[in-house]
Amino acid sequence: MINYFSYTEAMKYMGIKSLTTLRTYIKQGLPTIQVGKSKRISKSDIDKFMADHRVVVKQNKE
């Protein structure tokens, strides 16, 4: 089953509070779906976008 979130629901799912931040993610490639005036973001697209932007910090061994 594919879940589609409104922008507000997507922000809550992602743990962000700023619409500006969400719009930045969309400009960086987060796909959106528009049907008429309704804009949605699929849960699977959010998960893929976040995984693609994962950063792993390497610790120095001293």
Cα separation, 43 vs 9, in Å, equals 10
Q: What is the structure's pLDDT at 56? A: 84
With cut-offs at 50, 70 and 90, classify the pLDDT of residue 2. confident
- Is the pLDDT confidence value at 59 over 90? no
Q: Measuring CA to CA, which residue among 8, 15, 1, 16 is closest to residue 41?
A: 8
Written as six digits, the tokens of 60 are 């120095």
Q: Evaluate if residue 16 carries a pLDDT over 70.
A: yes
What are the φ and ψ backbone dihedral angles of 13, each rounded to 5 degrees? -60, -40
Residue 43: CB atoms within 10 A of its CB come to 15
The residue behind tokens 């893929």 is 48
Q: What is the pLDDT of residue 62?
A: 65
Q: What is the pTM of this model?
A: 0.82
